[in-house]
Structure 1
């Protein structure tokens, strides 16, 4: 049994290898952490990634902390109110997410986000018999967004008012944008696109076969409280918009001051020029030496050794 669990986690690590980077953070649930020592190595890798992330500017006004009871209840009420409108979800795990920006400092280029997962419907397909504690969540953000922390909080006791949504977990996220981006050039839709994560759920069937499903934009409530409240529109806030926003906020580069492409032709030309000069130079030196030897030989024959012809 221990061997099969090791194999399962190894397969999950392979499945997530492409997203473990400074732009992606992975969290393993308690059940996998307890039964598999391989997770400790993965956690150390993620910790190293987080430590390499840049620190927030000292002029920032954000103070990241766990929401208090009142704020937690407010966020929960807003999430459940919007999630109750869902009649189905696209992912086989039957889960929905509620994602909100609690704080945003444009000057510092930093924000605090709150992410909550809810079990909304009965899991289907390959996730049908997978326990909730065995589901792994991974978050991937646009290339301009880097994380300093991913804090998993215990679910607080909140009053649920006539809802079928069962809260699974809460997360506090703190992200920063690349310092060279000029956020003043972007509108709210573009900024939200840079803050929007790509949420994936992963698990293993019978401790051997890895499975994965995406939590799409229609599988949750996005920006329903806090910053950008009710500004989210499906299709207008996505990865395509994020790519365009990064290009729009990038600093202006004066054309012609840098090489636009790798100078392969220049390198080849320089290499051939160097070989030509080397061959021509060696030939010239050889001819000079031959001339000097010839003159000395002719001078010796004429009895005028040491004199020029």
Structure 2
């Protein structure tokens, strides 16, 4: 059984190699996770972030797992918001609840909380896939980098049969690029930069399957920062791309080199060789002219000396 799971996961990873990057966090099966060095390294990085001085890396943010009281508040808000869903678009039957717990506009950093719930019975290709065999990838806009700090894992597969069963929780710490002027953006644009694209990946009969958790498959910004400000038609990748363009300071064209000037160096080298050859030739011609004039003067008896 474990061998089949490993082979299926390897096939899936090869098929989804373009998705797995520095901007993706994966929820792997328990049997694979124990053997995955990448996951272990990410956990060690998370532990270092929890232990070190928040001021050295997160500005005024103190990144840590929510307290018991805050966890209950988030869970209550998520369940209340997700109750309005009558269906989800993804075949896995999963719904997401995503919230921003902290946001520091001066430091350009934020802490997010992501929770996944089993809302409906899986259908289609996901019908016979255990919930622990589903991999979750998050991709943020190009201006946003993040690190996943998993705060709790639920390994009870039987909970999949219950209504509104929480499957997983994640704590995410994200930062914006330093060149973005966040003061130029409104809340809708900032939320678009914080909103990840969530994909569900699995393997069924050693064949890769995938589904997207769309904006209609979850509750977004229902607690914490930007509470109740989410509007599905106004927050999304298109708005995020426009926000990145609007927040980048204007740079006068031609005042700086955007890439390493390889062509400029080659051109300068050829130009130097040209002027060197032309200069040496010119000096040679000047010297020859001087010698020629002296020789002609000597032949005419004009040596330039007084008699």
Deviations 1:130-159 (A, max 9, x none): 01111111111111111244224145xxxx
Residues 211-250 of structure 1 aligned to structure 2 (within 5 Å): 211-250=209-248
Report how far residue 277 of structure 1 moved: 5.9
TM-score of the superposition, structure 1-length normalised?
0.77
* CA shift digits 1:204-252 (9 cap, x unpaired): 112x111111100000000011110110011210011111111111122
Q: Note if 1:26 corresponds to 2:26.
A: yes
Long gaps (5+) in structure 2: 155-161, 300-307
Instruction: Report what 2:302 is aligned to.
Output: none
Residues 54 and 62 in structure 2, CA contact (< 8 A), matched pair in contact too = no
- Structure 1 residue 26: deviation in Å? 2.5
Q: 1:274 to 1:42 in 2, by over 3 A?
A: farther
1:40-99 CA deviation, whole Å, 9 max, x = no partner? 356548978999xxx976482211221122211111111111111111111010000000
* Structure 1: distance between partners of 2:95 and 2:60: 31
Q: Where does the alignment leave 5 or more consecutive residues of structure 1 unmatched?
A: 156-162, 303-309
CA distance in 2 between partners of 1:20 and 1:6 (Å): 17
Partner of 1:9: 9
State the alpha-carbon separation in 2 of the partners of residues 259 and 110 from structure 1. Answer: 29
Give the aligned CA root-mean-square deviation in angstroms: 4.1
- Secondary structure (helix, strand or coil) at the match of 1:225 reads strand
Task: From the superposition, tell whether residues 174 and 268 of structure 1 become closer, same or farther in structure 2 (CA, over 3 Å).
Answer: closer
> Hey, what's the Cα distance between the residues in 2 that align with 1:190 and 1:181?
12
TM-score (norm 2): 0.78
State the aligned residue count: 293
User: Secondary structure at the residue paired with 2:129?
Assistant: coil
CA distance in 2, matches of 1:254, 1:57: 34
Tell me the residue number matched to 1:83. Answer: 82
Question: Could you tell me how far apart the structure 1 residues matched to 2:77 and 2:255 are?
Answer: 51
Distance 2:132 2:99 in 1: 24
Aligned to 1:189: 188
Question: Match of 2:134?
Answer: 135
Give the drift of 1:261: 9.4
In 2 relative to 1, CA 50–175 (structure 1 residues): closer, same or farther, beyond 3 Å?
farther
5 Å matches for 1:125-274?
A: 125-154=124-153, 164-206=163-205, 208-258=206-256
Residue among 35, 40, 50 paired with 2:37: 40
